[in-house]
Amino acid sequence: MKSNISDVAKLAGVSPTTVSRVMNNRGYISQETRDKVDNAMKELNYFPNDLARALFNKRTNLIGLIVPTTTNPFFGELSFHIENICTSLGYKVLLCNSLSQMEKEQSYADMLMRNQVDGIIVGAHNRGISNYNQRNIAVVAIDRYLSKTIPVVGSDNYTGGTLATELLISKGCKNIIHMNGPVELETPATLRRKAYEDVMEGHGRQAITYEVRDPFRQQNHYEVIDRLFDECPNVDGLFASNDLVAASFIAEARKRGKDIPNDIKVVGYDGTETCQILLPELTTIRQPIALIAKTAVELLIKEIEGEYHDLPLETYLPVELIEGNTTGTIA
């Protein structure tokens, strides 16, 4: 049913070599031959087999994308932009949702190797696959340290954390608490926490951080928030390292009769389009997601094309404070 290059050649009355040349626009071909071949391809509804091409060229133009889950709006948007940019540059994207599980990440990495991807973009939060680039394949990480030689791209987490914390202080909050992912992850996102701690210390305040073990399970948010309210009932400012956690906190606070922003002011992190639509009143630190995607893809492609030197190992793109009502003046 599917036709191949020989079918086209036969129908056009030429050799497969010639068909290949027409497809790839290589060498000299008479217009007449070119037309014959084009017609034959159309007639047979011929699609060149990229697998066979890739086998020969040792280039698949395939890139693997590993994220925790596209369910999370940050990664949903990131995946969109990455795929979009890849496509515009002639690359295709194999999607992997690792759910931050190490075994899954490992088996995805193996799968990507078997499929001969030219490179991998890792937007997942776990550690563990430090042997990624030992296999000499191009790798770029999003907000995540993988090894000394793998470039990291992310938002300017330290500035983001600073902006968030200082805003809460300037709004008069006395007891500002921070919620973040597990510190063991060693992601650059812990810089958000560092900034919070530094700013708090700078103001002679005590920094208190609650760790959400698995930010992708909402049940986990609630457990931590429960504990937070038990232990710090007088909290009046919250900086969450992620908008969904901020939203969970707001809902739980309201259940406890707290008014936002009167009783507690809240700042999130990410500032996705989705969050801007669904929860526009949330004050947040917006990451430049499209720019992160673009930077990561361009870096990866440089690696793929053999530029291993002079690649910036850490790129932190500018964040933006979006002020909404959750830190607002009283209604």
Partner DNA sequence: CTGAAAGCGCTTACAG
Q: Residue numbers of the site for a second copy (CB under 8 A)? A: 1, 45, 47-52, 54-55, 60, 65, 69-73, 75-77, 79-80, 83-84, 87, 92-97, 108, 110-111, 113-116, 135-136, 218, 243-244, 247-248, 251, 272-275, 277-280
- Is the omega angle on the peptide bond into residue 261 within 30 degrees of 0, that is, cis? yes
Residue from 38, 44, 53, 185 in contact with DNA (CB under 7 A): 53
- The least distance separating a second copy from the CB of residue 59, rounded to whole angstroms, comes to 11
In the region spanning residues 2 to 31, those forming contacts with DNA, defined by CB under 7 A, are: 2, 4-6, 13-21, 23-24, 26-30
On whether the CB atoms of residues 109 and 120 are closer than 8 A, the answer is yes
Q: Is 115 in the site for DNA (CB under 7 A)?
A: no
At residue 48, what is the residue type? P
Q: Is 39 in the site for DNA (CB under 7 A)?
A: no
Distance, in Å, from the CA atom of 329 to the CA atom of 326, rounded to the nearest integer, reads 9
Residue 265 is inside which H or E element, if any? strand 265-270
- The least distance separating a second copy from the CB of residue 28, rounded to whole angstroms, comes to 25
Q: What angle do CA 204, 240, 328 make, to 5 degrees?
A: 80
The binder of 33, among a second copy, DNA, none, by C-beta within 5 to 8 A per type, is DNA
Q: Is 40 in the site for DNA (CB under 7 A)?
A: no
- The least distance separating DNA from the CB of residue 305, rounded to whole angstroms, comes to 16
The binder of 147, among DNA, a second copy, none, by C-beta within 5 to 8 A per type, is none
- The least distance separating a second copy from the CB of residue 245, rounded to whole angstroms, comes to 9
Residue 123 contacts by C-beta under 8 Å, 6 or more apart in sequence?
65, 66, 67, 68, 75, 78, 79, 141, 142, 143, 144
Residue 131 contacts by C-beta under 8 Å, 6 or more apart in sequence?
none
Spatial CA neighbour of 292 closest among 318, 310, 267: 318
Residues in the chain: 331
Name the 3-class secondary structure at 181.
coil
The binder of 83, among a second copy, DNA, none, by C-beta within 5 to 8 A per type, is a second copy
The binder of 56, among DNA, a second copy, none, by C-beta within 5 to 8 A per type, is DNA
Nearer to a second copy, 41 or 191 (CB): 41
- The least distance separating DNA from the CB of residue 14, rounded to whole angstroms, comes to 4
